[in-house]
Structure 1
Amino acid sequence: MQTQPRGRSLIQWIERQLRLALPGYCAFCLGEVPPGQAWCAPCFASLPWNQQACRCCGEPLSFASAMPCRECVDSPPAFTRAHVPLLYQGQVRQLMREFKFHASPRAGVLLMALFKETLAQCHAEALIPVPLHRKRSRERGFNQSQWLAKELHKTWDIPIINAVRKVDTPSQRLFGRMARRRNLEGVFVMSTRLPKRVAIIDDVLTTGATAHALALAAKEAGVEQVDVYALARTPRR
């Protein structure tokens, strides 16, 4: 059995083994694919892509529109726009749960590969991953948003600036959209002044309340424009 190469982290070693484990086979159906590809065209097309979405919050819409959705018109978020290419459904939901709650290297590598297929150049001057509270970080041992930000840093060569989560708030699953915003008021703080344009990095966008609260903290630290980059969107309806 191979041993872990000296000086490399365990997760980096596992990722390399996973990339080498099934050359020539689709990561979803195990059908044959050309060398160097991770999935076949039918599986890629069948994923729950968020093709018609609100340009502001990423909420999936029933029709294409250049205007923000009704919720963003009635209660605009503190961020300008959200890039969220997938929906939190089907195989994406399964991969996200493996990645978020079990720190699965296979799921993380595959999700990031899908994410990069949708990315253009980012014009932000800093990346801000959504932080966990210290207590939650110790319990989980893994911050998926931090991992995503590090991978995007490799792609864009944009520095990462970390925010601090001052309060360990109750689970957002217990609240509706506006209650989630109230639950997160004053939760985040920046330890330094920020550049004019930043990008918040998260795994799943649900109501956008967390990104809204973090964007408010960023603007208090000097930011003028905040964009959000997340892997998947949970539809409100």
Structure 2
Amino acid sequence: MSITMRCYFDCQTWDVHTMMKWTMVMNQWLKRGLPGYCAFCLCSRATESGWCEECYAQLPWNRVSCEQCAEPLLGAGESRCGHCLVEPPSFTITTAALCYQEVVSQLVHDFKFQASPRAGQLLVNLMLSQPPPALGNALLPVPMFPARAKERGFNQAHWLAKRLGKNTGMPVLRARCIKQVPSQRSLNRKERRRNVSDAFRMEGGIPEHVTIVDDVVTTGATGHALAAAALAQGAKRVDVWAAARTPFQKS
């Protein structure tokens, strides 16, 4: 066979393989966006919530955690982590049923940075499957600085809070972020607290018991700052409700 003929057949084979590969990718992508398929394993045994029972059971659940900030604990007999014992945050309890790991981190990424409505609704459904013991009187989404919200296109915490409020019958409050906070990804716990100190202001009146809504709790610094603003405005108790918790943050 000549070199020209061999190259021709190689190209034809490559085209077929490429088409098969992209067909599989597109099928998976379509299944992830359609109801009836599990968002995690893509089987057709999904419940109305968007997952199959097997995948739901195998999610990275945050089963043993600090009752105040939801940081995973090593000791089953503990109720609060060392950070909350030494320097308690302004909020009372945190509900974050999942750890920010594995498929959960990918789900949050798809929602937060790709604005996937299916990923967002799955997070709402997961939060509703393991709700806080007491919701209080209103939900308070973590606000974003206007320039950052414009850049991203939406506020993920407000998106979650609106849908959680619709499902629970809870009103949704508003707060303002008045400080352009630099990225906190590389900061430790103390630096994060300083970074968001005095960053929030409440709008209008506030009930006695408020539940802050966010997608992920990392150290609790943002929740602490927003809870402090709510308490200063007249709230008596503030809790936090998030989809996931990032485990074991450095001090």
TM-score between the two structures when normalised by the length of structure 2: 0.82
- 1:114-129 aligned at under 5 Å gives the runs 114-119=126-131, 122-129=134-141
Alpha-carbon distance between aligned partners in 1 of 2:100 and 2:41, rounded to the nearest angstrom: 19
Give 1:179 deviation, angstroms: 1.2
Alpha-carbon distance between aligned partners in 1 of 2:226 and 2:144, rounded to the nearest angstrom: 12
Give 1:214 deviation, angstroms: 0.2
Identity of aligned residues (%): 46
Using a 3 Å threshold, how does the CA distance of structure 1 residues 109 and 34 change in structure 2: closer, same or farther?
closer
Q: Does 1:88 align with 2:100?
A: yes
Root mean square deviation, CA, Å: 2.0
Q: Which amino acid aligns with 2:191?
A: A
Query: More deviation in 154-163 or 64-73?
Result: 64-73
Alpha-carbon distance between aligned partners in 2 of 1:20 and 1:189, rounded to the nearest angstrom: 37
> Matched residue pairs, number?
220
Q: Does 1:206 align with 2:218?
A: yes
Alpha-carbon distance between aligned partners in 2 of 1:157 and 1:198, rounded to the nearest angstrom: 14
TM-score between the two structures when normalised by the length of structure 1: 0.87
Q: 1:50 aligns with which of 38, 57, 62?
A: 62
Q: Which amino acid aligns with 1:21?
A: L
Gaps of 5+ in 2: 1-29
Q: Which residue of 2 aligns with 1:21?
A: 34
Q: 2:76 aligns with which of 64, 76, 93?
A: 64
Higher fraction of helix: 2
Query: More deviation in 147-156 or 62-71?
Result: 62-71
Larger Rg: 2
Q: Which amino acid aligns with 1:110?
A: L
Give 1:112 deviation, angstroms: 1.4
Q: 1:226 aligns with which of 233, 238, 243?
A: 238
Q: Does 1:32 align with 2:44?
A: yes
Give 1:40 deviation, angstroms: 2.0
Q: Does 1:148 align with 2:160?
A: yes
Q: Which amino acid aligns with 1:55?
A: E
Asked if the contact 2:176–2:200 (Cα under 8 Å) also holds between the matched residues in 1, the reply is yes
Q: Which residue of 2 aligns with 1:187?
A: 199
Asked if the contact 2:45–2:52 (Cα under 8 Å) also holds between the matched residues in 1, the reply is yes
Alpha-carbon distance between aligned partners in 2 of 1:146 and 1:125, rounded to the nearest angstrom: 17
